[in-house]
Amino acid sequence: MVSKRFGSVLRMSLLASALALAAPVSAGLSYSGVFTAPGSGGLNGSYYAIGQEARQSFAVPWMTEVNSLQLTVNLMPPSPWYSNNLREPLEFSFELNGTTLGSTRYLPNNVPGQWQPRDLDFDFAPLFNAAGNWTLRMVVSDAATPCIACGSIMLSSNNPFEISIPEPNGLALVALGLVGVGLLYRRR
């Protein structure tokens, strides 16, 4: 009688601990910040040539694995000297700890809406950094060459981002708890 009760309590404890340790399915651990460096990269925050870049490093000691980046790229508001003055397309690539995550392309200023904020979502194979130090880099990866009066893009200094850890970790813990409960129930 005592062993049945103990087994039942043990099963419930195992399930409860697995569920308590699991990250929420809808939102795992994440780090939010503002990528202010784009506003100071390039030529005083203005980009138009291949290789012009901006980078920002930040320490997140508790986050050692990342598989998602959400980034909003804001340009300066429209005016004759700000925002999108491109005559040719310009492409930015984004890197996290040296791994290219994706890119976005700005078209010439005669295409409507090119200056508006861009919400970029990058999902990728997990990146690991046991030290919890991360570097977000933005680099002009494609531009008119040579760049002769091809215009420029001037970025705002307010570009929010969020990096997240893989969601499957939480689901794996729940699955492990359920397997444990199943094995205990089977032994019974």
What are 76-134's pLDDT values in tens digits?
887 777 788 888 889 999 999 999 999 999 998 888 878 889 999 999 999 998 888 99
- pTM for this predicted structure: 0.72
For the chain, what is the radius of gyration of the CA atoms? 24
Match domain 29-166 to its CATH number in 3.40.630.10, 3.30.380.10, 2.60.120.260, 2.60.40.1530: 2.60.120.260
The residue that leads in pLDDT, 183 or 24, is 183
What ranges do the domains of the chain cover?
1-26+167-188, 29-166
Angle at CA of residue 63, ends 168 and 31, nearest 5°: 90
Residue 176 has pLDDT above 90, yes or no: no
For residue range 60-79, what is the model confidence (pLDDT) as tens digits? 998 999 999 999 999 988 77
CB 41 within 8 A of CB 86: no
- Residue range 35-43: mean pLDDT, rounded: 93
